[in-house]
Amino acid sequence: MTSKKKILVIQKIHEVGMQLLDNNPNYEYEIIDAEEMITKVDPELLKKKIEDCDALSIRTEKLPGEIINQGKKLKVISRHGVGYDNIDLVATKKNNITLTITSTANAIAVAEHVMFMILNISKGINMYNNAVKSGNFGDRNKLPKTIELWNKNILIVGFGRIGQCLIKRCLGFEMNVFVYDPFVDYETIKSLGGQKVEKLEEAVKIMDAVSLHLPLNDKTRNLIDINLLKTMKKNCILINAARGGIVNEKDLNAALNQGLIHGAGLDVFSKEPPDENNPLLKNDKAFLSPHTAPFTEECMQRMGKETIQNIIDFFDNKLDKSKIVKL
């Protein structure tokens, strides 16, 4: 009789995903969670629990090499999401562990969230809402005029699944869509209605909006800094629903205060939760959300299911290669 595979679930996922394990006699699992979504799971507890696990699923919890190295039976790490900067890739590769992501689950939700942020900033939603609720309906002619999206230029930086979902929504608003992604060819971008640009530094100069959709690594850290922000149009809207470290937050705050760009929408931060003294928290030109772009009910179901299905498919030798991170 084949022994059951043991799965360590670090941070709860949607019950739809857990049902896949409940209904499969080949697996058993244990859930380790903390009170807050931005977790602080005891590292010593993780070291102990990971020792006899065949697989684990993980959301945003940090997974350093010292913990991964304790997983002597560990064969696969399934990331609930698409970013994996919380996982030590060197240790993962050294221990011959497969790392998977939920590459097909969150694109729609994140793309919609980006449009939500662009519309909030361009249309002054908070300004209008506050005016009416504070009894200043008559001030409507005194308020600053808002911005149309029609015929505006938007640059999508990174053209994976999220970027490709976003372009459809931008074209629906009849925007002119440009794409910066060195790894996607001209014909693919053109076939989806976009125009490929070769140089980020030149492209941002003519954009009315810039939306970031790329991983955080040594090449992308602080990609958006004061030097780049200075070249943008004063009416430009910057959106980051990728990873916080891609944008230099100090530089962004300065750019907003100096009127270098119109506004910014951030769903991610270099430190989460952000420090209470982070100046962007008090900047009226910054529209913020707490890393919740994929937090639709539908998306959380898809992500939970795909997280567990990736583990099952791995052991059944059916795992889609597009869901495996190249280490």
Q: Which residues are catalytic?
A: 243, 272, 291
Q: What is the C-alpha separation between 173 and 138, in angstroms, rounded?
A: 30
Q: What is the DSSP string of 206-272?
A: G-SEEEE----STTTTT-B-HHHHTTS-TT-EEEE-S-GGGB-HHHHHHHHHTTSSSEEEES--SSS
Quick one: tokens of 154?
A: 């938007």
Do residues 215 and 250 touch, judged by C-beta distance below 8 A? no
In a 3-state reduction of DSSP, which class is residue 291?
coil
Q: What 3-state class would DSSP assign to 12?
A: coil
DSSP line for 162-213:
HHHHHHHHHHHTT-EEEEE-TTS-HHHHHHTT-EE-S-HHHHGGG-SEEEE-
Buried/exposed 232-253: b ≥16 CB within 10 Å, e otherwise:
bbeebbbbbbbbbbbbbbebbb
Residue 2 DSSP label: P
